[in-house]
């Protein structure tokens, strides 16, 4: 099975405090730690496991600048066979639809049976996979948390729906799936793994290589600013020494029935 996984380099929200810059034009990016989008990492792991079961290759692709190459390399250290970097100044302000349009042209340069994306990334939109599927006119399922290959034309997928329930579907290939966290346990990538792929050639393709008119990726939706929402009342913050905080907290908990004797 030929599998393509679309990944993105994002600021790691568990490692960083995200702050808006003084003018509200962007977040403060200077000291941010970047890594691969968490959901994408699960998608790559799933692709590797499928390949190891049924054969084939795993290709990872991203739209980004030179620094995004490190993310591709990291996923190749996990076990992906190939990487493709889609990079062009014309791609810089692309919105979700623009990214899907760019990816579509890359998909059409290969022959993929299965295309995976993360269920969402740093902007929380969850849009690229569904758009890509519609552009390719292939089936799509989001929030996938189990994949079983039935034969070379069909797979069975489970989706995470409300209340911890799982919706089971049969889908024909090729198709696009967006992968939910928890579908597997992504393997650890050590320094040695990264070193092994440090010198592997990763092809870069721009708008011209893809035969893409830059106007086709002009954004329809524009982000005007970043801001921190008015917190309103918010929580009553308990301050003081740990002893003082615990004393206040225990009073409150007792009053609200939070400590059973």
Partner 1 sequence: MSRQVFAYIIHKNGKPDDTALEFVTTARKLDPNAEVIGVVVGSGADLDAAAGEAAKSYTSVWKIDNAALAYPLADGVRKALVSVLPQNAVILIPHEHFGLDLAPGLAVKLDSPYLPDVVDFAGLNGDTLTAIRQEFSGMVSTHVACDIAAGAVITVRPGAFAPDESTAAAGTITDKSGDVGDVAVGRRYLETLVAEVGDVDITKSEILVSVGRGIEDQDNLEIVHDLAKAMGADVSCSRPIVDAKWLEKSRQVGTSGQTVSPKVYLACGISGSFQHMGGIKGAPFIVAINKNPKAPIFQVADVGIVADILEFLPELTEAIGEAK
User: Looking only at residues 188 through 247 of this chain, which bind partner 1 when binding is defined by CB under 8 A?
Assistant: 220-229, 231-232, 234-238, 242, 245-247
Tell the smallest beta-carbon distance from residue 173 to partner 1 (Å).
9
Tell the smallest beta-carbon distance from residue 81 to partner 1 (Å).
26
52/170 with CB nearer partner 1? 170
Question: Which residues does 88 contact at the CB level (< 8 Å), separation at least 6?
Answer: 206, 207, 208, 214
Question: Which residues does 185 contact at the CB level (< 8 Å), separation at least 6?
Answer: 45
Instruction: Choose, by CB under 8 A, the member of 30, 162, 191, 201 that binds partner 1.
Output: 162
- Tell me the C-alpha distance between 86 and 165, whole Å: 37
From first CA to last CA, the distance across the chain in angstroms is 59
Stretch that binds partner 1, among 79-87, 190-198, 200-208, 251-259 (CB under 8 A): 251-259
Contacts with partner 1 in 17-56 (CB under 8 A)? 17-20, 27
76/155 with CB nearer partner 1? 155
Question: Which residues does 182 contact at the CB level (< 8 Å), separation at least 6?
Answer: 42, 145
27/202 with CB nearer partner 1? 27
Contacts with partner 1 in 129-148 (CB under 8 A)? 129-131, 133-135, 138-143
20/194 with CB nearer partner 1? 20
Instruction: Choose, by CB under 8 A, the member of 89, 148, 169, 203 that binds partner 1.
Output: 169
Instruction: Choose, by CB under 8 A, the member of 1, 102, 175, 205 that binds partner 1.
Output: 175
168/200 with CB nearer partner 1? 168
Tell the smallest beta-carbon distance from residue 82 to partner 1 (Å).
26
66/164 with CB nearer partner 1? 164
Question: b/e map of 220-243 (b: 16 or more CB within 10 Å)?
Answer: eeeeeeeeeeeeeeeeeeeeeeee
Q: Is the dihedral of CA 8, 9, 15, 17 positive or negative?
A: negative
State the Cα angle at 29 between 25 and 33, rounded to 5°.
150
- Are 174 and 137 in contact by the 8 Å Cβ rule? The answer is no
Q: How far is CA 158 from the centre of its chain?
A: 19
Contacts with partner 1 in 110-129 (CB under 8 A)? 119, 122-129
154/195 with CB nearer partner 1? 154
Burial class for 129, CB neighbours closer than 10 Å (0-12, 13-18, 19+): buried
Size of site (CB under 8 A) for partner 1: 83
Contacts with partner 1 in 67-96 (CB under 8 A)? 96
Collapsing DSSP states into helix, strand and coil, what is residue 54? helix
Instruction: Choose, by CB under 8 A, the member of 15, 52, 93, 166 that binds partner 1.
Output: 166
């Amino acid at each position: 099975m030929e599998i393509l996984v679309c990944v993105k380099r994002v600021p790691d929200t568990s490692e960083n405090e995200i702050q808006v810059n003084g003018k509200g034009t962007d977040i403060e990016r200077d000291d941010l730690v970047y890594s691969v989008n968490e959901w994408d990492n699960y998608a790559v792991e799933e692709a590797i496991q499928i390949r190891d079961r049924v054969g084939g290759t795993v290709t990872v692709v991203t739209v980004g600048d030179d620094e995004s190459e490190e993310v591709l390399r990291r996923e190749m250290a996990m076990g992906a066979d190939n990487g493709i970097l889609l990079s062009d100044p014309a791609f810089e302000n692309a919105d979700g639809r623009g990214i899907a349009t760019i990816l579509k042209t890359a998909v059409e340069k290969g022959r993929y049976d299965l295309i995976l994306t993360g269920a969402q990334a740093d902007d929380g939109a969850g849009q690229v996979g569904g758009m890509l599927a519609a552009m390719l006119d292939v089936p799509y399922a989001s929030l996938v948390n189990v994949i079983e290959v039935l034969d070379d034309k069909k797979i069975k997928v489970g989706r995470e729906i409300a209340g911890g329930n799982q919706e089971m579907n049969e889908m024909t290939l090729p198709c696009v799936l967006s992968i939910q966290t928890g579908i597997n346990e992504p393997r650890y990538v050590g320094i040695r793994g990264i070193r092994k792929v440090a010198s592997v050639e990763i092809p870069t393709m721009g708008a011209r290589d893809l035969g893409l008119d830059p106007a086709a990726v002009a954004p329809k939706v524009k982000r005007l600013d970043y801001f921190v929402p008015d917190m309103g009342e918010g929580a009553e913050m308990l301050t003081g020494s740990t002893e003082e905080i615990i004393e206040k907290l225990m009073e409150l908990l007792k009053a609200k029935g939070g400590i059973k004797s």
